[in-house]
Amino acid sequence: MIRKALFLLLAAVSAPAASQVSWYAGLSGGQAKTDSELVANRESTITDATDLRTDFDAKDTAWKGFFGLRLNPAVALELVYADLGRHRTHTTMQGGQPPLPAAISIDRRISGYGVDLVATPPLGWTNASLFGRIGAFRSRLEARASLEGNIVFTGGDVDERARTTTRRETVLKAGLGGEWWFRPSAALRLEWERYLKVGKPFAVGGSGTTGEADTDVVTLGVLIRF
């Protein structure tokens, strides 16, 4: 899917009319929410434990900056840097033999950069427009796992109580949005985006795992056309 997205980006830049090319830039802020599939993935790999309960802090502030090249009224390319904030799971349980209280916390932070193809259908509106986007996002995921009580890492030392992993990967992203041009060269932009399958799934005995889940982001921002 990522290869298809990149192919579309390359196809879009084929011979645009010079008179139609314009540049713009902007900044947006809002909220990111990570899917609860992260909790299911985490709990499914905890062994020798009962009474699992997870608190999930799924939301955080998100922001992004973007620089765009509009090729024609219907197609633009955008370079984006985005910070999707932090989210956290805290799973309590009865672990080991005999069962004793234990807990594991996972803290994740996602940021990165990418390139998107932005398509605007010709609706004929004067000061407003709708658009869709698809692109590739080079994510940087920092994950820290911390243990409490009667629980150990698979294959780890009994005294090891925390692990930190940084994972970089290219994931697919897509979104929808709208713009309102309150001035000829300035607009408000409201949009929703989904970053797909960010991270590496937890697995019994796995290495470099961070958990895997989609993250949705809703932002409101301003763009300026040059």
pLDDT in tens, 81-105: 999 999 999 999 999 888 999 999 9
In one-letter notation, the amino acid at residue 53 is: R
CA dihedral over 180, 116, 66, 73, signed as positive or negative: negative
Determine the Cα–Cα distance for residues 95 and 80; give it in Å rounded to an integer.
Answer: 44
Closest CA to 24 of 187, 156, 158: 187
pLDDT of residue 179: 97
pLDDT band at 155 (very low <50, low <70, confident <90, very high): confident
pLDDT of residue 53: 97
pTM: 0.90
Closest CA to 149 of 203, 89, 99, 211: 99
Q: What is the per-residue burial (b if ≥16 Cβ within 10 Å, else e) of 181-208? A: beeeeebbbebebebebbbbbbeeeeee
**pLDDT of 4 strictly over 60:** no
Helices (H), 24-177: 37-44
Using DSSP's 3-state secondary structure scheme, residue 96 falls into coil
Q: Lowest-confidence range among 15-29, 160-174, 208-222?
A: 15-29
Q: pLDDT per residue over 75-87, tens digit each?
A: 999 999 999 999 9
**pLDDT of 206 strictly over 90:** no
Q: What is the per-residue burial (b if ≥16 Cβ within 10 Å, else e) of 48-60? A: ebeebebebebeb
pLDDT of residue 15: 45
Mean pLDDT computed over every residue of the chain: 92
